[in-house]
Amino acid sequence: RYRRSSSSNRNLDLKNLKFFKLSHLNELTIHVAIVCAGYNASRDVVTLVKSVLFHRRNPLHFHFITDSIAQQILSSLFQSWMVPAVRVDFYDADELKSEVSWIPNKHYSGIYGLMKLVLTKTLPSNLHRVIVLDTDITFATDIAELWAVFHKFKGQQVLGLVENQSDWYLGNLWKNHRPWPALGRGFNTGVILLLLDRLRKLKWEQMWRLTAERELMSMLSTSLADQDIFNAVIKQNPFLVHQLQCFWNVQLSDHTRSEKCYKDVSDLKVIHWNSPKKLRVKNKHVEFFRNLYLTFLEYDGNLLRRELFGCPSEADHNSENTLSELDEDDPCYEFRRERFTVHRTHLYFLHYEYELSADNTDVTLVAQLSMDRLQMLEAICKHWEGPISLALYLSDAEAQQFLRYAQGSEVLMSRGNVGYHIVYKEGQFYPVNLLRNVAMRQVKTPYMFLSDIDFLPMYGLYDYLRKSVVQLDMTNTKKALVVPAFETLRYRLSYPKSKAELLSQLDMGTLFTFRYHVWTKGHAPTNFAKWRTATTPYRVQWEADFEPYVMVKRDSPEYDRRFVGFGWNKVAHIMELDAQEYEFVVLPNAYMIHMPHAPSFDITKFRSNKQYRVCLKTLKEEFQQNMSRRFGFAALKYMTVENNS
């Protein structure tokens, strides 16, 4: 209790109050454990987390048992999500595999479906209770209600579970169907309340192992992973279970009896899509379930950054401090603010497979895009067989549209070496350079080809660039290899299969050098006249506004985030490469072609809004001043060169 105090004691009271709030928050914290492995489960778990965050009023502490893939994805996601009063810890599932790998298991979740058995050993010894959830769960209420059920445990009850809502454990689904032993209908382990401290005292590890060893002598393998073993233990020790009301785990699967467990959909609290078919299950309320699920699937996760208890998180304080340094009366305030916006990022939204080549010449195509450029993906995949790293700027709803588009495309689904990284929309500008940086950071190859999504690389460019790595000694030199850029104004183009064919189309007026009619300076230093007859690579000098498409080493500088929307985003990057003494070398037999499309929202704003152009000029001048401070006399040319961009 705190009374009003004199000013001399006020600081002390504020410290005490802060300590009281922190200790009170710790008492209120709800702990949730989730086993999550691989790309698909990482995507599924986000919908679960959104549904929990939407309803919750308490601080949350998530404990994720993950493989290396899920840890990379989820740690990046939560760091960039910056949800207040949420803590996340990760536990390496690979270190736990030996604990359960001896159990033969036929369930589609594989070895990870057995990991819940070892949570008493995995989670911190000072953690006394935890809610354990499958990734295919959707909450329709505050998780605190479920947490409160722990107070109803009596005697030796240590497990809170809902009865299984299918006939699986009754053993009458088909001829010779022989399930593991269970108490009656058995229990479903999609939602579990675990009293960890009591389980440890009961020697849970020893208990489940002995049971599993005994049953496996006759059963040979598990069909439902951890659920079979939990049920076999409960059959022997019924006193361990506190039976939860069925609305805490309404199970939707092919053989479900879930309709009998509730009277009205308003009674439901947790929905469990425990079928690989998910939304195609049969239930008279399936439309309600589907809509609830889709609500969170497409819900704007940025809205979940709201504060709890009026206590901003440390991340919030940091961003506020950064923003407070900006002048809100500055006409370019919105541009400057964009640089400090933290965009929620979901790396590897789809399955990714890549094996590094032994010869150290491999190269990844890097690009960024928004929803209106999706149609370019299949064409680029047909033109470039090597690895690709893409940053997609999408809303939550658009991310789901993209997922459906990709899964419906034979071309995209046949490619495992394309990394799709979702950067979620926020703010009023397209964060083009942030997107490029996100895609660049996920490049696994020694080299990267920095492209744009509306360009089609020539057939064979991937192999040509790899050969150029060796021919131009890229390993021991600092080079940026320039791929000459052309454009067509035709939506249907017979793509040139050779340089000779391209030159012929240039002469006929089917193709043009890129932006020849509106922005010659951007690619003029490439020296297209020389390129026409060149048979060997040639060096070119940096000039003002030069913005070629280049291949560089993976560790080359990132793009400057102050440039958003349209204008100067690539120019600044090429200037940075020049300042760091990269040599620009034009490849004589390489080319790429820009395909026509509707103008972007940002270029329209640039053309119609004078203030937009003024701010871009201001940011450009500030960037040049920064360059002169960083590189001294060598950067003087960037300040003095005549530049009309």
- The model's pLDDT over 175-194, given as tens digits with 9 standing for 90+, comes to 777 888 999 999 999 999 99
Question: Beta-strand (E) ranges in 356-437?
Answer: 363-370, 388-394, 418-424
Look at residue 146 and tell me whether its pLDDT is greater than 60.
yes
DSSP 199: H
Per residue, what are the HEC states of 515-545? CCCCCHHHCHHHCHHHHHHCCCCEEECCCCC
User: HSE of 340 in the Cβ direction (CA atoms, 13 Å)?
Assistant: 16
How long is the chain?
A: 645
Say whether domain 17-305 belongs to CATH 3.90.550.10: yes
The residues that bridge with 352 in the sheet, in sequence order, are none
> Per-residue pLDDT tens for 392-402?
999 999 999 99
Q: Say what the pTM is.
A: 0.89
Q: Which residue has the tokens 């479920």?
A: 146
Q: Which own/partner contact pairs does 259-266 have at CB distance under 8 Å and 24+ positions apart?
A: 259/283, 259/284, 259/285, 260/165, 261/165
Superfamily (CATH) of domain 350-609: Spore Coat Polysaccharide Biosynthesis Protein SpsA; Chain A (3.90.550.10)
**Cα end-to-end span (Å), the chain:** 64
Instruction: Among 106-120, 195-209, 544-558, name the one with the lowest average pLDDT.
Output: 106-120
* Sheet architecture: strand order including 388-394: 345-346, 418-424, 388-394, 363-370, 447-450, 549-553, 479-483, 583-586, 538-540
Domain ranges of the chain: 17-305, 350-609
Distance CA 450, CA 319 (A): 30
Q: For tokens 């979620």, what's the residue?
A: 424
For residue 61, pLDDT beyond 80 = yes
Q: CA-to-CA distance for 427 and 176, rounded, in angstroms? A: 60
pLDDT band at 3 (very low <50, low <70, confident <90, very high): very low
pLDDT level of residue 4 (50, 70, 90 thresholds): very low
Rounded Cα distance between 369 and 418, Å, is: 14
Instruction: Strand 455-457: give its sheet, edge to edge.
Output: 455-457, 592-594, 485-487, 512-513
Alpha-carbon dihedral 68, 73, 76, 80, rounded to 10 degrees = -160
pLDDT tens across 533-573, in order? 999 999 999 998 899 999 999 999 999 988 888 777 899 99
Residue 376 pLDDT > 80: yes
Residue 416 pLDDT > 80, yes or no? yes
Q: One fold for both 17-305 and 350-609?
A: yes
